[in-house]
C-alpha cells in the first residue's frame, strides 16, 4: 500500500509505503525494516532498535529550530558516537569504550580536551555534601579500603586525597599543602607519627654524573649583601610542648655584583633563649666557629667570659674515670694570653702523654722547614724542673732541678761522641771532645780547658741570680802563662776539711817529684802572714806587731826611736833568779801540735812556767824579752864574777904576802903554793867562761838582728 501527496496542479508523489512484509517505508519504496525513513533512519527488525543513518553513519538531531538543536552522530569511519550542538560543534565522543569530551579521539576511558581557552571540569553538590572523585581497582566497587578518593571538603573547603580511609594529602584553601596532616601550618607541611618518619627523598636515576638538587630561591628585585637566601630549621618541643628552632642552616649573600657573586653558609644553634649563628663557612672556604668573619681556614673564637676549648676524645670517654682526651684552649678569655695543648687519661683525672709525629717527620717551632726531629728558630725554656732525654734515660739527659737550681748534663759513656754547646759567633763553646771538656775552644787538649783571648777565664760567684754579684773570685791566665786569682773579698782559703791541708810547690818535672809545702795543722787561733811590700833589708823579720795574730814583715824594733821607755832594770839579779828558777825539760811535741814534728827530742822550757819569756797570751816565745832577760842575767853574772874576782885578788895578795913572809922565814910549804895556783886558775876559768858566754849572746843578738 502506497501513500501519495501532491500540491495543486502537480503530479502526486509517493511518501510512505507498507509492503507485504509489514515493513513501513517513508521516503523509500523498498523498506527492509519495520520502519525505514529514507536512507538515514529505520528500525532494525528483531533488535528493538531504530536505525538512523546510512553506511557512512547517521545523525540524530534534537531541537526546535535550525539554529537551536543538538545531535547524536555515529561516525562509521571512526567507529565513534559523538554528541554535539549546532551541527559541527562536538561536545563528547565515545570510541572503543573511551569517552572523549572535546575530542573525537579519546586516549583513555575519559579524555577531556578543549581547543582554545580554559578547560574546566566541575563536580558539584548541593549544600549538604562534599564533591568527590573515587578511584578504585576492586571491580569498581568503592566499598572496601583499597581505593582512592579525592574530595572537596564542604566544611573546610580543603581539597583532600584519601586512601584506605586515611586522609593522606590536604590542600587548604589558603594554599598550604599537608602530607600526613589535615592542618598544614606552612605552604608544605609533611607529618608522620611513625618512627624515623617522614623521609623526604629526592632521587635522580640518570646515568650521568649530575645529581638531583634542592633549590631554595630568594628572587629579590633589589638584592643586597647580607640578604638571607634560604633557611633550614630543625624544630622540636620543649618540656611544656612549646615549639622552638633548636638548630638551623642559613644561606647568606656576601657580594651580589654581577660576575663577582659571593655567598656564606651559616649554621645556627640555640643556647637558652638565644638562637643564633654558631659556625660559618665563608665564600673563600674559611670556617668560623664563634665568629662571623673567619680570616683563616679554621677560626675558633670563644664567647665573652670563657677560655673556650676544643676536645678530642676516645669513644669510651666519660669525663669521670674512663677514656682519653686531647684539649686545645687559651689561657684566658680575652687579652694577650697563651694557648695550650693538653692530653688527659682516666676520664680527665690524670695528665697523659702528648705525641707529635708518631709515624715520622720533623717538628718545627718558628721555622717552616725543620731539618731535624725538633727544630726551633728561638729559645727553649724548661721551667718547673725536668729533663731532656736522648734515647733511653740512661743514654743521655739534660735536667734542671728547681729546688736546688741545678742544671745537670749526663751523657752516655762513648769516647767517640762529642757533646758541644756553642754561644754563636762569640766563639764560646762548651764541648765534650774525645773525653775532654772545652769552654771557648773547639779542640780542648786537656780534660778541662777554658780559653779566653781577653778578660777573665772563670768567675766563681756567691748568691748571684742576675749577674750583679759583689762576692766572687776571678781566675784568669795571662798572656805570659801566669795564673791569677782575684777574689772580691781579698782573701783566699784553702782547706777546712777533716784533715790538715797543705799547699805544695812542685820542683820542675825534669828534676823529680819533690815539693815544698805549706801545711795548716790544728790552730789555737787564726794567724795571718803578710808578705813584705818590697825586698827586705837588714833587720827585717816576720812578727806580730799588733798582737792580733797578724804576722807582717817588719824591721826588728831595736832602735830607741821605736820604743816608749818606761824605766830601767836596776837589779839584774831578779832576771837571773827567774832564769835560774825556770825548769828545763826534754820533750816531744804532741801530734799536730807545736812545730808539728812529734819525733824530734826537744830541750826547753814550758810557756806556763816561764811567762817572762812569752808573749801572745803566754803561749809563744818572746824573743825580745828572752834577749833582755839574757842580758840581765849576764849583767848579774858579770857582777858576781867581778865580786869574785875582787875576792880572788884579795886572796892572791894575802897568799903572796904569806908566801913572801914564809920565804923570808924559810917556811914555804907545798899547800900554800897549791892554794895560790888554784886561785889563779879559778880566776882565769871564770874570765874565759864569761867571755865565751858573752860571745854566744852576741851571736844570738846578731842572729835576731838578721
Four-residue CA torsion sign, 50, 53, 58, 60: negative
The whole-number pLDDT of residue 705 equals 43
Question: Which of the residue ranges 132-136, 276-280, 524-528, 658-662 would you say has the lowest mean pLDDT?
Answer: 658-662
Backbone phi, psi, residue 152, to 5°: -100, 110
The whole-number pLDDT of residue 421 equals 46
Four-residue CA torsion sign, 486, 489, 491, 494: negative
Higher-scoring residue by pLDDT: 301, 304: 301
Which residues lie below 8 Å from residue 579, measured CB to CB, with a gap of 6+?
629, 630, 633
Higher-scoring residue by pLDDT: 84, 259: 259
- Compute the residue count for the chain: 706
Which residues lie below 8 Å from residue 379, measured CB to CB, with a gap of 6+?
none
Higher-scoring residue by pLDDT: 672, 306: 306
Are 373 and 344 in contact, with CB atoms under 8 Å apart?
Answer: no
pLDDT tens-place string over residues 484-495: 888 988 888 888
Give the whole-angstrom CA distance, residue 447 versus residue 449: 7
Are 105 and 77 in contact, with CB atoms under 8 Å apart?
Answer: no
Higher-scoring residue by pLDDT: 93, 343: 343
Please count the CA atoms within 13 angstroms of the CA of 129 that sit on its side-chain side: 7
Report residue 337 as a C-alpha cell: 694570653
Are 528 and 549 in contact, with CB atoms under 8 Å apart?
Answer: yes
Could you tell me which of 211, 210, 230 has the C-alpha nearest to residue 220?
230
Could you tell me which of 645, 625, 547, 531 has the C-alpha nearest to residue 579?
625
pLDDT tens-place string over residues 101-119: 778 788 888 888 887 888 7
Higher-scoring residue by pLDDT: 508, 411: 508
Question: Which of the residue ranges 41-50, 181-190, 413-422, 518-527 would you say has the lowest mean pLDDT?
Answer: 413-422
Are 497 and 519 in contact, with CB atoms under 8 Å apart?
Answer: no
Q: Residue 64 has what DSSP assignment?
A: S
Residue 36 CB coordination number (10 Å): 22
pLDDT band, very low/low/confident/very high, at 98 (cuts 50, 70, 90): confident
Highest mean pLDDT among 134-148, 238-252, 294-308: 238-252
- Does the pTM exceed 0.85? no
Which residues lie below 8 Å from residue 674, measured CB to CB, with a gap of 6+?
none
Tell me how many degrees the CA angle 538-541-543 measures, rounded to the nearest 5: 155
Q: Where are the domains positioned within the chain?
A: 2-112, 131-190, 571-706
pLDDT tens-place string over residues 233-291: 999 999 999 999 999 999 999 999 999 999 999 999 999 999 999 999 999 999 998 88
Report residue 186 as a C-alpha cell: 606552612
Report residue 149 as a C-alpha cell: 578518593
The whole-number pLDDT of residue 221 equals 94
Q: Residue 303 has what DSSP assignment?
A: P
Amino acid at each position: 500500500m502506497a501513500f501519495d501527496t501532491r500540491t495543486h496542479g502537480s503530479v502526486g508523489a509517493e511518501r510512505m509505503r507498507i509492503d507485504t512484509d509489514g515493513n513501513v517505508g517513508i521516503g523509500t519504496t523498498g523498506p527492509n525494516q519495520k520502519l525505514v525513513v529514507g536512507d538515514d533512519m529505520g528500525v532494525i527488525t528483531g533488535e528493538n532498535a531504530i536505525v538512523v543513518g546510512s553506511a557512512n553513519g547517521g545523525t540524530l538531531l534534537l531541537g526546535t529550530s535550525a539554529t537551536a538543536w543538538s545531535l547524536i552522530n555515529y561516525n562509521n569511519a571512526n567507529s565513534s558516537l559523538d554528541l554535539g550542538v549546532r551541527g559541527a560543534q562536538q561536545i563528547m565522543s565515545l570510541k572503543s569504550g573511551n569517552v572523549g569530551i572535546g575530542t573525537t579521539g579519546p586516549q583513555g576511558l575519559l579524555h577531556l580536551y578543549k581547543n582554545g581557552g580554559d578547560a574546566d571540569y566541575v563536580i558539584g553538590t548541593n549544600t549538604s555534601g562534599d564533591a568527590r572523585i573515587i578511584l578504585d581497582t576492586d571491580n569498581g566497587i568503592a566499598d572496601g579500603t583499597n581505593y582512592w578518593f579525592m574530595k572537596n571538603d564542604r566544611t573546610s573547603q580543603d581539597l583532600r586525597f584519601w586512601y584506605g580511609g586515611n586522609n593522606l594529602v590536604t590542600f587548604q584553601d589558603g594554599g598550604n599543602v599537608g602530607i600526613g596532616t589535615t592542618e598544614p601550618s606552612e605552604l608544605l607541611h609533611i607529618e608522620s607519627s611513625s618512627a624515623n618518619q617522614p623521609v623526604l627523598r629526592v632521587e635522580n636515576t640518570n646515568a650521568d654524573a649530575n645529581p638531583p638538587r634542592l633549590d631554595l630561591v630568594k628572587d629579590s628585585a633589589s638584592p643586597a649583601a647580607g640578604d638571607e637566601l634560604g633557611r633550614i630549621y630543625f624544630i622540636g618541643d620543649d618540656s611544656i610542648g612549646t615549639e622552638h628552632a633548636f638548630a638551623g642552616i642559613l644561606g647568606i649573600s656576601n657580594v651580589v655584583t654581577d660576575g663577582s657573586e659571593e655567598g656564606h653558609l651559616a649554621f645556627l644553634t640555640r643556647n637558652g633563649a638565644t638562637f643564633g649563628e654558631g659556625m660559618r663557612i665563608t665564600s673563600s672556604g674559611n670556617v668560623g666557629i664563634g665568629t662571623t668573619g673567619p680570616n683563616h681556614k679554621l677560626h675558633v673564637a670563644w664567647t665573652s667570659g670563657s677560655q673556650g676549648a676544643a676536645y678530642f676524645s676516645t669513644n669510651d670517654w666519660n669525663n669521670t674515670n674512663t677514656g682519653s682526651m686531647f684539649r686545645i684552649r687559651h689561657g684566658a678569655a680575652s687579652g694577650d694570653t697563651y694557648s695550650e695543648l693538653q692530653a688527659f687519661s682516666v676520664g680527665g683525672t690524670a695528665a697523659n702523654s702528648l705525641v707529635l709525629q708518631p709515624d715520622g717527620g720533623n717538628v718545627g717551632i718558628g721555622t717552616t722547614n725543620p731539618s731535624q726531629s725538633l727544630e726551633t728558630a728561638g729559645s727553649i725554656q724548661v721551667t718547673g724542673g725536668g729533663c731532656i732525654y736522648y734515647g733511653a734515660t740512661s743514654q743521655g739527659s739534660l735536667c734542671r732541678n728547681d729546688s736546688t737550681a741545678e742544671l745537670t748534663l749526663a751523657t752516655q759513656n762513648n769516647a767517640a761522641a762529642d757533646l758541644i754547646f756553642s754561644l754563636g759567633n762569640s766563639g764560646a763553646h762548651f764541648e765534650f771532645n774525645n773525653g775532654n771538656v772545652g769552654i771557648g775552644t773547639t779542640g780542648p787538649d786537656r780534660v778541662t780547658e777554658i780559653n779566653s783571648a781577653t778578660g777573665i777565664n772563670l768567675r766563681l760567684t756567691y748568691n748571684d741570680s742576675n749577674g750583679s754579684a759583689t762576692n766572687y773570685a776571678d781566675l784568669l791566665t795571662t798572656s805570659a802563662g801566669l795564673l791569677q786569682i782575684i777574689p772580691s773579698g781579698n782573701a783566699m782559703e784553702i782547706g777546712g776539711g777533716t784533715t790538715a791541708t797543705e799547699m805544695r810547690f812542685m820542683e820542675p818535672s825534669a828534676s823529680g817529684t819533690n815539693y815544698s809545702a805549706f801545711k795548716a795543722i790544728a790552730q789555737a787561733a787564726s794567724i795571718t802572714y803578710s808578705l813584705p811590700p818590697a825586698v827586705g833589708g837588714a833587720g827585717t823579720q816576720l812578727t806580730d806587731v799588733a798582737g792580733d795574730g797578724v804576722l807582717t814583715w817588719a824591721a826588728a824594733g831595736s832602735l830607741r826611736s821605736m820604743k816608749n821607755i818606761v824605766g830601767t832594770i836596776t837589779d839584774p839579779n831578779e832576771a837571773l833568779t827567774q832564769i835560774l828558777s825556770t825548769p828545763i825539760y826534754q820533750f816531744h811535741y804532741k801530734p799536730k801540735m807545736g812545730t808539728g814534728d812529734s819525733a824530734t827530742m826537744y830541750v826547753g822550757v814550758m810557756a806556763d812556767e816561764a811567762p817572762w819569756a812569752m808573749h801572745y797570751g803566754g803561749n809563744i816565745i818572746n824573743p825580745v824579752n828572752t834577749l833582755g832577760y839574757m842580758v840581765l842575767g849576764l849583767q848579774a853574772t858579770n857582777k858576781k864574777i867581778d865580786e869574785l874576782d875582787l875576792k880572788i885578788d884579795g886572796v892572791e895578795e894575802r897568799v903572796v904576802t904569806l908566801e913572801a913572809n914564809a920565804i923570808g922565814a924559810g917556811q914555804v910549804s907545798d899547800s900554800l903554793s897549791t892554794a895560790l895556783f888554784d886561785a889563779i886558775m879559778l880566776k882565769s876559768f871564770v874570765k874565759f867562761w864569761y867571755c865565751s858566754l858573752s860571745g854566744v849572746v852576741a851571736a844570738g843578738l846578731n842572729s835576731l838582728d838578721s
